[in-house]
């Protein structure tokens, strides 16, 4: 349908509503702030994520090192146990060897001392560490005193003391005395006297007979 303007007036245009500038700026600033917040949060997230990754890697490394150290500790404990066992065996062997050699030297020194005394013989000889308990029988008290003197002069014995000496009535008509004495072994004197005792106990080689002149 065709409309005709009979009045000859221009039709007014529709009025346009204007947007305030302040509202526009607020929206723009809000968008900028939101974008900045998103960027900051993204950076923080990236940093925290990287830090978490490094921390997890460090934890894994420390766990691996801990497991390795525990294995090393177990190996060290096992080696220490083996060392202690071997050391105990070595100590036992050294003690047995020392007692064996010391026993031989002791018997040799006692024998060399006894042969220097007349009318005296030993019936018991007990050793506990470096302590010595001697029991015997003698034909006289002076023989016992002479035996004590010889033990002191040997340098092998210290603290030689008589504990008991009494006349033996077992054999009528025979005057003998039972004695009990104690002494200690001098380690330094034993070390010096041992070679002499071995030399004294070693028989001299037989000499070849001299050939006569023809």
Question: Per-residue pLDDT tens for 74-108?
Answer: 889 888 888 888 887 787 667 656 655 567 778 88
| DSSP β-bridge partners for residue 137 | 121, 178
Query: Smallest Cα–Cα separation from 144: which of 135, 153, 157?
Result: 135
What is the DSSP code (8-state) at residue 156? S
Q: How far is CA 40 from CA 37, 53, 139, in A?
A: 5, 20, 115
pLDDT of residue 206: 46
How confident is the model at residue 210, as a pLDDT? 42
Per-residue pLDDT of the chain (214 residues; tens, 9 = 90+): 555 555 555 555 555 555 577 778 888 888 888 888 899 999 999 899 888 989 999 998 998 888 888 889 888 988 888 888 888 778 766 765 665 556 777 888 888 888 888 889 898 889 888 889 999 999 889 999 999 999 999 888 999 999 988 888 766 667 888 999 999 988 776 555 555 545 544 444 444 444 444 3
C-alpha to C-alpha distance for 206 and 200, rounded to whole angstroms: 15
Q: Give domain 105-199's CATH architecture.
A: 2-Layer Sandwich (3.30)
Q: How many CB atoms lie within 10 A of CB 139?
A: 16
Domains of the chain, residue spans: 105-199
Alpha-carbon gap, residue 127 to 122, rounded angstroms: 14
Handedness of CA 52, 57, 60, 66 (dihedral sign): negative
Res 110: pLDDT:
87
The pLDDT of residue 211 = 44
pLDDT recorded at residue 16: 53
Nearest to 160 by CA among 189, 143, 176, 181: 181
Contact 160, 145 (CB under 8 A): no
Cβ atoms 159, 183 nearer than 8 A: yes
The pLDDT assigned to 144 comes to 92
């Amino acid at each position: 349908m065709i409309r005709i303007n009979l009045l000859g007036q221009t039709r007014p245009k529709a009025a346009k509503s204007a947007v305030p500038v302040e509202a526009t700026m607020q929206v723009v600033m809000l968008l900028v702030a939101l974008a900045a917040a998103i960027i900051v949060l993204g950076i923080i997230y990236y940093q925290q994520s990287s830090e978490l990754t490094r921390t997890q890697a460090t934890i894994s490394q420390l766990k691996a090192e801990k497991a390795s150290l525990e294995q090393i500790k177990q190996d060290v404990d096992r080696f220490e146990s083996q060392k202690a066992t071997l050391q105990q065996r070595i100590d036992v062997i050294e003690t047995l060897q020392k007692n064996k050699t010391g026993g031989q030297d002791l018997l040799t020194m006692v024998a060399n001392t006894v042969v220097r005394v007349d009318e005296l013989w030993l019936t018991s000889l007990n050793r506990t560490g470096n302590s010595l308990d001697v029991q015997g029988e003698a034909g006289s008290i002076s023989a016992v005193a002479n035996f004590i003197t010889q033990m002191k002069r040997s340098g092998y014995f210290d603290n030689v003391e008589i504990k008991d000496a009494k006349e033996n009535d077992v054999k009528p008509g025979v005057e003998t005395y039972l004695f009990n004495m104690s002494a200690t072994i001098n380690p330094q004197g034993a070390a010096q006297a041992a070679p002499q005792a071995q030399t004294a106990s070693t028989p001299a080689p037989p000499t070849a007979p001299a050939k006569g002149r023809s």
